[in-house]
Amino acid sequence: MKVLVTGNAGFIGYHLTKKLISLGYKVVGLDSVNDYYDQNLKWDRLTTLGIESNLELNQHFHNDYLNFYRVKLEDKGKVFEIFKKEKPDAVCNLAAQAGVRYSIENPYAYIDSNIIGFQNVIEACREFGIKNFSFASSSSVYGGNKNLPFSTLDRVDCPISLYAATKKSNELVAYTYSHLFGISCTGLRFFTVYGPWGRPDMALYLFADALRSNKPIDVFNHGDMSRDFTYIDDIVEGILKIIQNPAKKPKKPSESNSTQAPYKIYNIGNNSPVKLMDFINEIEKSFGKKFKINFKDLQPGDVKSTYADVDDLIQDFNYKPKTTISFGINEFIKWYKYYNKII
C-alpha cells in the first residue's frame, strides 16, 4: 500500500511517516519546509528519515521506502503532477499552517496553506480516483463550547480564531467531496499533541526552553486552564487505524444527517484533561528545576478548557489514547535534553 502524507517535516507528519515506513508501507511525502518555526528542526526530522537536508523548493528525494517532494501545496500544478506520477492508494493530509495565536498576526498564511493547499490535495484525490482520504482537523473547531467533554455531535459554528475557521472549512469541503464523489473522508480533531520532536512554538517546548535558560514563563488565565494533552504515539496509532479503515457510508441516516456519504469525524484526545499547573509541575519534576512564572490574562483566540469525547474511537476501533502525562513529559524532556545537548 502506498500512502501519500503531506506535512512530513511537521511534528505529527514526521512521526506518522516514520511509523508507516517501519510497518513496510511505501510513503510519498509532500512538505514545503516553511520557516514558521526553526527550519533546522524540520530538516533534522527529515534527516532521520534518510532525506537529504536542505533540498530546494520543487526538488525531489527518494530511497527504497520514501519519495519526498519539497513543494508548496498551494502550487496546484506541482501537486497534480505528483499525484499523477505516484498514484497513491491513500492520502493523509497533515500539512497546515498551525498555531491559534499566529493566525491573528498573519491570516493569509492560513488561507494559502489551510484553504488553498487543502483544496488542491482533495481535488487531486478526485481527479486521480483516490477514495481513501484522511485529514487533520483540530479541537480548536469547538471554539468557546461550554459543553464538556467536547463531542463530535456538538455544533461547531462559532470558531474564535482564523485557524479554527480554516479547520472547520476543511471538514465542510471534505464532507462535500465525500457526498458528491464518493471519496471516503475522515477528519481527525487532534487535542493538544505533545512528545519528542514537538513544535518549538507549543507550550511544552517553550517551557523547557525557559527552564534551560532560567527565564520566566507566561501562564495565561492565571493558570486556570486545562488541556486534553495527547501523546504523539497515541495520535499516530489513531491515524493508522483511520488509514487502514476508511470511512464507510452509514448503515442508516442519522437524525441530523440524511445523506449517505462515506464521511466521519473523530476526536483524538486523551479523554482526561490535565490542569495547566499540574502539567507545569510535571515538567519541573522531569527537568529537575523550578519555574519563575508570570501570570497573565486569557489571550484572544484561546479557550479555558479542552476535553475530548472519544467514544466513537472506542466503539469503531476499540481504541483509546492511554499514555499518562508523567510518562509523556518525561519522554519529551529526555529527547529535548539529548537534542539540545544538555548534560
Residues annotated as catalytic are 163
Residue 288 CA to chain centroid, in angstroms? 29
Report the 3 state secondary structure along 199-214.
CCCCHHHHHHHHHHHC
Query: Can you tell me the distance from the alpha carbon of 165 to that of 336, in angstroms, rounded to the nearest whole number?
Result: 32
Query: Can you tell me the distance from the alpha carbon of 23 to that of 54, in angstroms, rounded to the nearest whole number?
Result: 27
Query: Can you tell me the distance from the alpha carbon of 230 to that of 215, in angstroms, rounded to the nearest whole number?
Result: 26
Query: Can you tell me the distance from the alpha carbon of 270 to that of 13, in angstroms, rounded to the nearest whole number?
Result: 19
Which three-class secondary structure state does DSSP give residue 322? coil
Q: Which three cell numbers stand for residue 274?
A: 490535565
Q: Are 204 and 329 in contact (CB under 8 A)?
A: yes
